[in-house]
Structure 1
């Protein structure tokens, strides 16, 4: 990966990502129905199906790109298999899962920095999942064994894995232009995810 010396006094990659995606992140959170009074078991299942329809092609494209900078453990952090377990737990057969619609309009992962931006969105979502996990357990009786494993994909290691990911981001020697490419990819990932969920009619 072509890099230049970081600009002295320039914001870190993490700071740039947080600032660049903040509004998109808040806007998406407001439209997710996890805390809606209308959310029931059927709507939860439809929501998880929509998540699978985005994560499965997204992770495949991202991890198969060969462009993720060294140091990221894809085997540890891939989330599609956990979504599959949840869908099975919620009563879907293999044939039903194979027939689920999948997102075709994915962000473009054509550079290592674009991959970093997308990974920031996917890894950051694991922190919010902790709050959602507790809410779904209280309201719907859903836990890791009956359809809620994805919301607690890293379990007790969530905090540690997030810190490790931040350390990984901090080791990337990116100049200001490369950081902006990462931010653009993260924004595209947020926007693409929201548009996909909207098309599946699962957002508020």
Structure 2
């Protein structure tokens, strides 16, 4: 496979992903209700239920596809178990969690590049979670033990794990075509997440 490292005119995978998803990222952030004065404890629980309805099938499909390039520690980075713990803390039992609606319109994880694009979105979300965690702690008194763990899923390791993920991305020898496939998958993940949250009526 041709490595884009030998093509000085080609943007890095990270640059391509940032540029390709920037507008979608901003648009979704504007619709998330974390900073809305109307968000209360019930609204937060509904939001987290909707997050679970996307993350559970997303991670199941992505981590089970067999195309993630070597070097990604999915056991260390799976988010669904933390969402389950939060939902338990918010009053849902296992039966109630299993009964929650789940998204069935997911990107196709049929190439390593597509996996990298989706992982970029999921891992990037951990950075934004730091800001949301502080807001939910102040306004709803949520912390790691009573329903706020997902917003701080990596805790003190957030910065380190993001840097490690960027190093992982930069180590992938994708050509221009594969890079474009990664961007398409990242965009599909963003738009699919927004459409799912919209369908669950939890967005502004």
Matches within 5 A, 1:140-155: 140-155=140-155
1:4 shift after superposition: 1.0
Cα separation, 2, equivalents of 1:201 and 1:111: 32
* Secondary structure in 1 matching 2:161: helix
Cα separation, 2, equivalents of 1:147 and 1:5: 44
Q: Which runs of 4+ in 1 moved over 3 A?
A: none
Structure 2 unaligned residues grouped into runs of 5+: none
Give 1:43's aligned residue.
43
1:126 shift after superposition: 0.0
Cα separation, 1, equivalents of 2:18 and 2:51: 23
Structure 1 unaligned residues grouped into runs of 5+: none
1:10 shift after superposition: 1.4
Give 1:136's aligned residue.
136
The count of corresponding residues between Structure 1 and Structure 2 is 202
Is 1:26 equivalent to 2:26 in the alignment?
Answer: yes
Matches within 5 A, 1:69-108: 69-108=69-108
Is 1:121 equivalent to 2:94 in the alignment?
Answer: no
- TM-score between the two structures when normalised by the length of structure 2: 0.98
- TM-score between the two structures when normalised by the length of structure 1: 0.98
Is 1:170 equivalent to 2:170 in the alignment?
Answer: yes
- Coordinate RMSD, CA, aligned: 0.5
1:8 shift after superposition: 2.0
Cα separation, 1, equivalents of 2:174 and 2:25: 23
Cα separation, 1, equivalents of 2:150 and 2:93: 18
* Secondary structure in 2 matching 1:82: helix
Cα separation, 1, equivalents of 2:187 and 2:26: 12
* Secondary structure in 1 matching 2:143: coil
